[in-house]
Structure 1
Amino acid sequence: MQPENSKSSTDQSEEEMARNLGTESRRAMTFVPVGLNMQKFQLSPISCTCRRIYVQICVLLVIVLLLVLIRTISNVRVMFEEYHMASDTDGELVVLPKQFAQSRSAFCLDGTPPGYYIRYGQFPGNTNWIIYLSPGAWCSTPVDCYNRSFTALGSSAIAPIFFPFTGILSANEEENPDFYRWNMVKILYCDGGSFLGNRPEPLIHQGKPLYLRGTHVLTAVIDYLQMNTNFGAAEKVILAGSSSGGLAALINVDHLRKKLTSVKSIHALLDGMLFVDSQNIYGKHKMKDTLKDVFHLHQIADAPAIQECTSSLASSITYRCMDPLYFYNYLFTPVFLISSLHDSWYINNALAITCPFKKCPPQEVVVINEYKLAMLRALQPVKQSVHDGLFITSCPAHTLLLTKWFYQRDVSVNNSSLQQALSRWYHHQHPVKYIEDRHFSQILNCKTVTY
């Protein structure tokens, strides 16, 4: 048996070893940050700050994107509203499919397909149509046609998408009470020959082929309208035109009547197209010579619309059929003629008089008065017609159908605006032969001069 002090010593040694072991274990489990560990610990707040910045940047980007999206949507809405408003009041360009145009040999001067502007009508006028032929003079030489082919008067490729429909084409009931609900079509004038050109082969100038196919252009557009709109079921049709387009309407309207056999009524409105033959200040007959050159360059003699006239004349004088008041003798369709006895375009271009009316010298006033008398003489057959109407103002103007003077009374004859006179004629209320013959000195206060 061991002595008690020996046992006690052993127990103490075991306890001491246990304490030492516990102390070492605690030391091993204790984390003491030193050196590098302290630096890692200090980076923690910095990392947190960077994440916060990243979040803020992301939120800001989202806000910016939302703002851009909202702005874009707003712009799209505005563009749609503008397009919708334009489509309701203006004409929208339709270019004929290339294959369709080629099958009918119908080309603008530069070879592009022809086209038209259209605004559809509303009930009860949606079975009625106004087909309008635009002004734009002519190209009477190869150089003229070549230069013209680079403009909207010779190419559908650069024609504007919309065209403002005003005057007789207006959708405003107050301005155009008789026709504002009708279907409206303005055919793009891109042939330079009053829709009468019939030249079979292109004219080559400076290596560029020029297509003088106006009669094919008009036919193709009418065919396309019949096939792709309700124009084929039209009940009433008015063929209207201004200046060179008025001459086109005059010569083409009977031919159109033969094509539209199911239409109940066809009329023609002829605006600013009384191109009478009158001598200018240099003793030249500029108007007759221009129309003669157009007739021959575009080979119009055999065009279907004019052939009844040309076939009755010797070949040396067939160009006379381009004289509107000569061709009038062959006309069957009722027409309403609109013109000025002091046509501002004619005075400038055909008479070569460019002075302001208030300052024209006496010798030029004499030439203007001779022109006025020639027009009054030429109008006698129209005055005697039972079916045809006249609105002839003395105010210096050229065309009126698409201007504000169509409905405003600043240009009035017999106390009637053009719109009122046209309405009376169209609805057969009474004969309309309105002619205002004033002396040159009395027209100087007119409010309008249009070209």
Structure 2
Amino acid sequence: MDREWGGGWCNHISDCRARSSSRLGSSHLMASQTTFSGILDSDCTSNPDFCNWHKVFIYYCDGFSFMSDIEHSHAMNLTFRGARIFNVMMDEMLAKGMRNAQNAILTGTSAGGLATILHCDKFRKLFSDEIRVKCISDSGFFIRGKGHHGYKNREKFFGDVIKTHKLGKSLPPKCTSKRKSSLCFFPEYLVEDIQTPLFVLESAFDRFQLTSLVLEGVTNCTNNLKSCTSTELGIMRDDEASSCRLVF
């Protein structure tokens, strides 16, 4: 079982430069070890189905969900080669025994959840047909949500990320052949072409989605639902129900 973590994306060189001096861009600043939880938890009481699986945690560091692959460095001495990191990690895990697995799951949270969607079919191809392979995207279904609050800003943001990381040729061609590339980082336009079994887990009260789609700037409420007014809770319930119908 492979797990990719979250951490958003950098949409301009200056932003990526700032990340390079943090745990989101430098292996020197990452924790030496992580705590497995949820589906990766080794406690068989709370996680009876997956507690005894082999687990691999992949730290997120490229700023674009392990999709970038630029040959040259930028002027600010930055390299965007997340796709190569993903490939090398998969090669290493296969060599260490992953190729002998009978069941394999690729999962991730937030930006890692989106990486899971983008890499799901690619992960499936690493194994023979008789191996059961599935993907789980946890809180990674970032929607464009046309007509919903801020959708043009979301599209521009991902468009800037795609431009910065030069991802025109890296995004799924089944998507880019039907629509502009700035839309091909939104799961609502990707899942229709994924062939591998994919489970999408998304809370109706996901803080990021609420802040960007429904209650922009209302941090007190989105950080703690107990501090929300009855009006804000009503807006969330109504809008999230509409979003779920739109997404799924």
TM-score scaled by structure 1?
A: 0.50
Correspondence 1:326 to 2:189? yes
Deviation per residue, 1:186-223 (Å, 9 max, x gap): 11101010111122322223xxx111111111011111
Please point out which of 176, 190, 198 is paired with 1:335.
Answer: 198
Deviation at 1:360, TM superposition (A): 4.4
2:64 maps to 1:189: no
- Counterpart Cα distance in 1 of 2:190 and 2:160: 17
Return the alpha-carbon distance in structure 2 between the equivalents of residues 226 and 335 of structure 1.
21
Q: Which residue of 1 aligns with 2:94?
A: 226
* TM-score using structure 2 length: 0.87
Residues 1:244 and 2:111 are matched in the alignment: yes
Q: Who is 1:306 aligned against?
A: 172
Which residue in the other structure is 1:354 paired with? Answer: 219
Offset of residue 349 of structure 1: 4.5
Asked if the contact 2:11–2:161 (Cα under 8 Å) also holds between the matched residues in 1, the reply is yes
CA contact (8 A) 2:143 2:247 kept: no
For residues 387-402 of structure 1, the aligned pairs below 5 Å read none
Following TM superposition, by how much is the alpha carbon of 1:353 offset from its aligned partner in structure 2, in angstroms? 2.9
Which amino acid is the alignment partner of residue 151 of structure 1? S
Q: Deviations over 1:348-377 (max 9, x none)?
A: 355333242444484x66764564144222
From the superposition, tell whether residues 265 and 147 of structure 1 become closer, same or farther in structure 2 (CA, over 3 Å): same
| Structure 1 residue ranges without an equivalent (≥5) | 1-129, 381-451
Corresponding residue for residue 108 of structure 1: none
Higher RCO structure (Cα 8 Å, ≥6 apart): 2
Preserved CA contact (<8 Å) 1:239 1:268: yes
SS state at 1:254 partner: helix
Residue 179 and residue 309 in structure 1: after superposition, are their counterparts in 2 closer, same or farther (change >3 A)? same
1:170 paired residue number: 41
How much has 1:258 moved relative to structure 2? 1.6
Structure 2, gaps ≥5 residues long: none
Task: Flag as ranges the 4+ runs of structure 1 deviating above 6 A.
Answer: none
Q: Secondary structure at the match of 2:125?
A: helix
Contact 1:233 1:262 in 2 (8 A): no
Aligned: 1:210 with 2:210:
no
Q: Aligned AA for 2:82?
A: G
CA-atom RMSD in angstroms: 2.2
Cα distance per residue 1:377-420 (max 9 Å; x no partner): 2244xxxxxxxxxxxxxxxxxxxxxxxxxxxxxxxxxxxxxxxx
1:252-291 alignment runs, 5 A limit: 252-261=119-128, 264-278=131-145, 279-280=148-149, 285-291=152-158
Verify the 8 A CA contact 2:156 2:182 in the aligned structure 1.
no
**1:72 corresponds to:** none
Instruction: Give per-residue Cα distances to partners, 1:244-290, cap 9 Å, x unaligned.
Output: 1001001101012123236611101111112122443xx56333322
Name which one, 1 or 2, has greater alpha-carbon Rg. Answer: 1
Post-superposition shift, 1:143?
Answer: 1.3
Are the structure 2 counterparts of residues 277 and 308 from structure 1 closer, same or farther at C-alpha, using a change threshold of 3 Å? closer
1:144 aligns with 15
Number of aligned pairs?
A: 240
Contact 1:198 1:302 in 2 (8 A): no
Q: Is the 8 A contact 1:197 1:213 kept in 2?
A: yes
Q: Distance in 1 between matches of 2:203 and 2:67?
A: 25
| Cα distance change on mapping 1:267 and 1:255 into 2, 3 Å | same
Q: Distance in 1 between matches of 2:238 and 2:189?
A: 19
